[in-house]
Chains A and B, each alone.
Chain A
Amino acid sequence: MQRDLVIRARAGDVEAFSALTVDKVARLTGAARLIVRRDDIAADAVQDALLLAWVDLPGLRDPDRFDAWLHRLLVRACYRAAKHVRLRDVTEIVMGGGSEPGLPDHQSTVAMRDQLDRGFARLSKDHRAAIVLHHYLGLSLAEAADALGIPLGTMQSRMNRATRIMRAALDADERTVKSAREFVR
């Protein structure tokens, strides 16, 4: 089904391209947000990636590689967009509803998310892209390496470092909880 759509889109069928991409936009947007960490910039990156995909689609030889190719275009678009983001831009966070503040489960969840957020924010864009492609988009390491245009070994190295930083954030959280408990005693 997807293969047929790719072949039709490659031949210039705009509606086929629309049908091909409509279900992918949500995941692409999520991945872009994680990589560039700004909603508006992420939307621009997704739009750029889709436009470039349309323009260059006739050059795609293997229709079965459309997804990997689109992921590569997205990551490149994110990298380009990230260049325009100032270092000291403030990242807005949306304060949602949810469970009652003050409940232990809520607090621990918020604390864990906060720690992970700090760890994630400390990753370079290359490491963020690696971890997003693998853990968020569910690509294998080989597929993610292909999408990023890097050797598998480099991908493994980036994943290893990114995971270590994220785990260090979680471990720090556990240490904080432990030391707080010891202090209470």
Chain B
Amino acid sequence: MNADNRYDNAIRDYLIDAAGSPDPGLHARSMDAVRSRRQRGQWFARVRDLVARSDGSGSRFAGRSGSLVRRSNSSALLVAVPTVAVLGLMVVALSPRTPIDGSGDAAGASIASPSSTPSPESTDESIAPSASRSTSIGQLVLERDALAIGRTITSDRFQPPVTFEVTPRMPGSPTEPDVCTAPYSSAGMIVLAHPKACVDTLRLIHPYAIECGLAAMPAHADALADAILERLGKYAVDRGSVSDSPVVQADLFAYPEIGRVVDITAGRAFDQAARDPDACRLLTGPRTADPVIEIRADIPARLIIVDVGDDLVVVWAGNGPDAATRAAALSRGYTGDLGHLTGLVRNLAFS
């Protein structure tokens, strides 16, 4: 028996076991409900016959109980009215979504801040967005006291629901978490910053949309990883699948996850004026203060891209937002170790 059959048999056995035993009274209860209801076709057939008789074309439907091939004018009207209504609803539903705050165009090209740099201000006090960017909508600043070692942490805003633990600051302070003050969370992003200058961040990102040359949405982890590798060329490195990648620590996820890991190397000098130079970015939703995350060859980053059901979540570890802040970080002994950043949390679990 080959491995495929072994897996399939194990899954089949599990399903049979998990399906449980039959409910002996269910059929009888269902039939009680059935006996109290008339079949739809009886009145539909009567209406159809009435329509057919009214325009003298009853013979057209003789022997065609299931398909109305040649519709009379009146029966066509019965079909046309709801069809027009449905088409009208479809037009409304397919209209481009414009952010409510009016900051974006139909394609979402300018959603959120034009400075699409992926990190907030560089202060030792806070990594939360500045007051001018903060709104009361879709945003929650977690209390730092809640980030105790060994405590399971979640955000009541971020979707999909996620839990994790923070790791102790190393070395010498086993009770202090290795994250900066005032972590930030919203429906689409959780931001934890490293205490050294609070510049380098670990982010959990649930993109509202992705602009990276993907053929289809919603994107899968493999598709996004391939798109990044194609867009950034030699500046992006495929680190393999999440389950096998040597750069993903064993306790990062509580359960096995499906996904890919891509590293962006510091291959190009940082260009502060450039906007989305590699045409690849993760867009955040309207009515949020989250920054757009540009995936660009002049900002080193590690992206652990995970498929969570039909959703996609990116665990993004990366450097600070601009040259000045990066220099400040470097002057304080910044090491730029992306692996250390992903080690700020452990036992990530999505539900």
Minimal beta-carbon separation of A42 from chain B (angstroms): 9
Q: Which of the 9-residue segments B14-22, B80-88, B260-268 touches chain A?
A: B14-22
A39 neighbours in B (Cβ, 8 Å): 20, 23
B18 neighbours in A (Cβ, 8 Å): 33-34, 117, 120
Known: A51-B34, A55-B39. A172 touches B8 (CB 8 A): no
A113 interface residue per 8 A CB criterion: yes
- Per a CB cutoff under 8 Å, which of A29, A57, A59, A164 touches B258? A164
Chain A 31-57 interface 0/1 with B at a Cβ cutoff of 8 Å (1 = within): 101100001000100110011001111
A33 touches B11 (CB 8 A): no
Interface centre among A14, A26, A46 (most CB of B within 10 A): A26
Minimal beta-carbon separation of A174 from chain B (angstroms): 11
Q: In B21-64, which residues have CB < 8 Å from any A CB?
A: 22-23, 26-27, 29-31, 33-35, 37-42, 44-45
Docked Cα-Cα span, A47 to B29, in Å, equals: 8
A166 interface residue per 8 A CB criterion: yes
A47 touches B40 (CB 8 A): no
A166 touches B11 (CB 8 A): yes
Chain A 116-132 interface 0/1 with B at a Cβ cutoff of 8 Å (1 = within): 11111011101100011
B14 touches A167 (CB 8 A): no
- Per a CB cutoff under 8 Å, which of B14, B19, B22 touches A113? B14
B41 touches A26 (CB 8 A): no
Q: In A2-46, which residues have CB < 8 Å from any B CB?
A: 10, 12, 14, 17-18, 21-22, 25-26, 29-31, 33-34, 39, 43, 46
Chain A count of residues within 8 A CB distance of the other chain = 56
Known: A117-B14, A166-B7. A33 touches B309 (CB 8 A): no
A170 touches B10 (CB 8 A): yes
Docked Cα-Cα span, A168 to B318, in Å, equals: 28
Docked Cα-Cα span, A22 to B172, in Å, equals: 68
Chain A 137-170 interface 0/1 with B at a Cβ cutoff of 8 Å (1 = within): 0000000000000000000000001011111111
Known: A117-B14, A135-B11. A61 touches B66 (CB 8 A): yes
Minimal beta-carbon separation of A141 from chain B (angstroms): 13
Q: Of all chain A residues, which has the CB nearest B243? A: A168
B23 touches A29 (CB 8 A): yes
B161 interface residue per 8 A CB criterion: yes
Docked Cα-Cα span, A26 to B16, in Å, equals: 11
A112 interface residue per 8 A CB criterion: yes
- Per a CB cutoff under 8 Å, which of B19, B22, B30, B255 touches A47? B30
Minimal beta-carbon separation of B24 from chain A (angstroms): 9
Docked Cα-Cα span, A6 to B178, in Å, equals: 66
Interface centre among B26, B38, B45 (most CB of A within 10 A): B26
A90 interface residue per 8 A CB criterion: no
Q: Of all chain B residues, which has the CB nearest A93? A: B18
Would you mind naming 14 contact pairs between A and B with Cβ atoms under 8 Å apart? Answer: A12-B42, A21-B30, A29-B22, A30-B22, A34-B19, A54-B34, A55-B40, A58-B41, A59-B44, A61-B67, A124-B309, A161-B220, A165-B256, A165-B258
Given contacts A25-B27, A58-B41, A172-B256, 14 further A-B contacts (CB under 8 A): A18-B34, A25-B22, A30-B20, A57-B39, A58-B44, A59-B44, A112-B10, A161-B258, A161-B307, A163-B7, A163-B8, A165-B256, A168-B257, A170-B7
Point out residues on A near B: beta carbons under 8 Å.
Answer: 10, 12, 14, 17-18, 21-22, 25-26, 29-31, 33-34, 39, 43, 46-47, 50-51, 54-59, 61, 87, 94, 112-113, 116-120, 122-124, 126-127, 131-132, 135-136, 161, 163-172
**5 tightest A-B CB contacts, nearest first:** A58-B41, A30-B19, A124-B309, A26-B22, A61-B66
